[in-house]
Structure 1
């Protein structure tokens, strides 16, 4: 759907900052690192453990959202003699700076992963490391886990290797800039190879029955000091780069399954009743789901530029719930698959932002070198699934709370105004409680008997809507903003009949 940007008026920044501070206080989140953690990080940054292998000859580059400083990955592609491709994927080597059991390590285990919300960021590691010495910033000598993955001409994995190496990124690039060059035909040949490999991996995904949800992102950003909120569809190069991350995660899982030790990211397959419910939703939204068409193929047929298709994509995320981690040492897990990937898969490519990735890297380096997995890593594996499950829950809750706050701040001056939108969820009779959407009011409003979710075009927001009459699922409607309270982080609309 088109990107709609809304700017906060002057003076609203204080309201937003106070609201974010309140969320952090309510959730009892750390707002700073203990002094001993910061001191240890500074010392580690000054004395990294650099590996002997020098691969600074590989012209790696990074591609991330603009302004990113915590750069976990750098990449390079080349064609192989006789056909196929060689993918070099360097991952920041956090273990070169963080000693097991030391202060930085203990704090990372308390946090689990970096938390994001609007302009707020609560990092996993001190910025001295995550945005400095450990980040794969350009023109800096860095320790890394260097993945070398050979692909055949169809894009299938032919060989996997990962080892510690010294690397040096040549440039820090962003998705929009690279995509513009690709569209104009002026891009470096590296990005042509990214497109080739990315598209081949998308074909392989389709062939094995995997699916990627192309859901537009609700993006909150600051431009020239002003807040903006928009739905933004991915650039194609983002999807291709995501395939390289997926490829590396699948390669890591292959190594660990073969070695019978590690930790996988898993997702059970959708149940028949889940698919049946999605088919009813598609029917209500007037979206064709032909008989015999598989769930992944139906997802690929949806167009993120259409409001009702975005609503359908959002509904489809419900079958992706239940993702988790499973550790193993010896016997393989009973259910090792990640059903959306349609393969065994591991989180391996973001160790600056997610604790489990550091452990996956350590296990894979040891397995590739035919060495025992370090005792400190092996001993921690059984406790990681519960630790990461709690970290995931906390991260999602924090992000949702901040988005609810931003939407309430943006809309507070417009209570009473009318907006155009589409009903994308109808829950039936209102029982005076939240529907799980996020910014939910406990007060349904006078005369309200039904509730649901409306997707607005301008502003780019999904919010709660109440009505005395049944809500017309999938239809265009006019709604009136009944409530927008930044303190309660509530936005609620009423159907205009």
Structure 2
């Protein structure tokens, strides 16, 4: 799709203002850097050498902080899935300066002109990253799965691994389309759809809303949306399977930390059903919200409106730490299963702790005292970090939207009404891809309308439309 590109090259079209506004620090204290540098020289020769497993990574182009490497193989009538995760526990000393710093940061914050990393880059883009062609310490999950994609055995252990190649989603998708995928991921085309079908059967809720992305053209910024490749969704299913397995391990041991989301309440489901009826989209009474949403054609305006409405189904996400007794809510409504984060420890604090819990439990050991003491602190640390990351993401998008549209006040655009209110609505404009407020009384959800740009203020990061 076409995108309007800013070509000014002006120094003020950068994001230092957001860093200042939100108190984001890219630099690390000297003591933290010294500890990270010292950790790089650690020896891991006592680990099992599993570098013969032909792992590969799939990440966005140019990524250096590589958390996961995978190998999916046919095995008889079923599958064997190897999933290696960067082992931050090998580098971070509990109670040290680095541990204290990353607890404050919570997660990597991504901005269009550079990220604010969770860990010093000597680790996150170096010694701990699963870069191709180098041996790395990792936590290796191995799943033996049946012909229908269900794990029948799960093993998690520390090991030495070596990624054979670094791919991006587009190149892997192109290899599948051409019929010549890499042998390490060839079975993903069969395994991924099986996992997707299992998710639909569980009632998992996935919202296929357009994702805005910000890209540089070398002298400015542009907004784009990208359709989600099949490989992207298949790869995500491997991560979800791992998070579900980790949650099961912790629940059985009655200690750990879960990512939770309450089931949608009847009011939210009823509202979505009324929206579907108003848009004349059939929804049989015996079909779950997740299955209904999965059956929509994401390219239609009616689907965009319903996906937006369905965000009400996914409210109240949090983290629940426990040790000795199981919490009241143990499932994640979006996943439709118990779930936790273990697959992105380079970029998210909680993954390291959840991984250490799984390793201790599966080894038949007590949780280390430092881990047991840290668990109750993690929900608030991650809650604050998630909130900050969401605010920064939204501010960056608002900023670029205002920059892109600043010279087009008074022009008209075609838009889809996503959600209507009494006096305004949320609309999506495809070109340039913008989500914005639009003044107008009870605009028809799911319909295409003409809107006029009334305001695009880069200083206030504000864009405003009126229905034409």
> Do the aligned residues in 1 keep the contact of 2:137 with 2:158 (CA within 8 Å)?
yes
2:449 maps to 1:477:
yes
> Do the aligned residues in 2 keep the contact of 1:98 with 1:104 (CA within 8 Å)?
yes
1:15 to 12, 15, 32: 12
Query: What residue is the counterpart of 2:150 in the other structure?
Result: 156
- TM normalised by structure 1 equals 0.91
2:177 maps to 1:183:
yes
Change (3 A) 1:228 1:50: farther
Counterparts of 1:453 and 1:188, CA distance in 2? 42
Deviation of the 1:370 alpha carbon: 1.4
Query: What residue is the counterpart of 2:437 in the other structure?
Result: 464
Deviation of the 1:216 alpha carbon: 2.6
2:32 maps to 1:37:
yes
> 1:389-408 residue pairs with structure 2 within 5 A?
389-408=383-402
Look up the SS of the partner of 1:122 in the other structure. coil
> 1:421-432 residue pairs with structure 2 within 5 A?
421-428=415-422
> 1:14-413 residue pairs with structure 2 within 5 A?
14-17=11-14, 20-47=15-42, 49=44, 51-81=46-76, 83-413=77-407
Counterparts of 1:54 and 1:357, CA distance in 2? 23
CA deviation vs aligned residue, 1:232-259 (integer Å, no higher than 9, x gap)? 1210000000000000001101111111
> Do the aligned residues in 2 keep the contact of 1:15 with 1:409 (CA within 8 Å)?
no
Query: What stretches of structure 1 of length at least 5 have no aligned partner?
Result: 429-449
> Do the aligned residues in 1 keep the contact of 2:106 with 2:348 (CA within 8 Å)?
yes
- TM normalised by structure 2 equals 0.96
Deviation of the 1:187 alpha carbon: 1.4
Counterparts of 1:50 and 1:317, CA distance in 2? 48
2:424 maps to 1:451:
yes
Deviation of the 1:493 alpha carbon: 0.8
Counterparts of 1:50 and 1:116, CA distance in 2? 34
> Do the aligned residues in 2 keep the contact of 1:233 with 1:304 (CA within 8 Å)?
no
Look up the SS of the partner of 1:269 in the other structure. coil
Counterparts of 1:300 and 1:382, CA distance in 2? 36
- Give the RMSD, CA atoms, in angstroms: 1.6
Deviation of the 1:227 alpha carbon: 2.4
Counterparts of 1:180 and 1:390, CA distance in 2? 39
Look up the SS of the partner of 1:283 in the other structure. helix
Counterparts of 1:158 and 1:347, CA distance in 2? 21
Deviation of the 1:271 alpha carbon: 0.5
Counterparts of 2:346 and 2:183, CA distance in 1? 29
- Of stretches 330-339 and 246-255 in structure 1, the one that deviates more from structure 2 is 330-339
> Do the aligned residues in 2 keep the contact of 1:182 with 1:191 (CA within 8 Å)?
no
Query: What residue is the counterpart of 1:444 in the other structure?
Result: none
Count of matched residue positions in the alignment of Structure 1 and Structure 2: 468
Deviation of the 1:48 alpha carbon: 5.2
Look up the SS of the partner of 1:75 in the other structure. strand
Deviation of the 1:4 alpha carbon: 4.1
Deviation of the 1:197 alpha carbon: 1.2
Change (3 A) 1:45 1:282: same
Deviation of the 1:51 alpha carbon: 4.4
Query: What stretches of structure 2 of length at least 5 have no aligned partner?
Result: none
Look up the SS of the partner of 2:231 in the other structure. helix
Deviation of the 1:347 alpha carbon: 0.4
> Do the aligned residues in 2 keep the contact of 1:117 with 1:402 (CA within 8 Å)?
yes
> Do the aligned residues in 2 keep the contact of 1:118 with 1:403 (CA within 8 Å)?
no
CA deviation vs aligned residue, 1:339-360 (integer Å, no higher than 9, x gap)? 2211111101000000000011
Query: What residue is the counterpart of 1:445 in the other structure?
Result: none
> 1:481-492 residue pairs with structure 2 within 5 A?
481-492=453-464
Counterparts of 1:91 and 1:477, CA distance in 2? 47
CA deviation vs aligned residue, 1:117-166 (integer Å, no higher than 9, x gap)? 32331111111111111100001110000111111111111011111101
> Do the aligned residues in 2 keep the contact of 1:451 with 1:471 (CA within 8 Å)?
yes
Deviation of the 1:46 alpha carbon: 3.0
> Do the aligned residues in 2 keep the contact of 1:215 with 1:313 (CA within 8 Å)?
yes
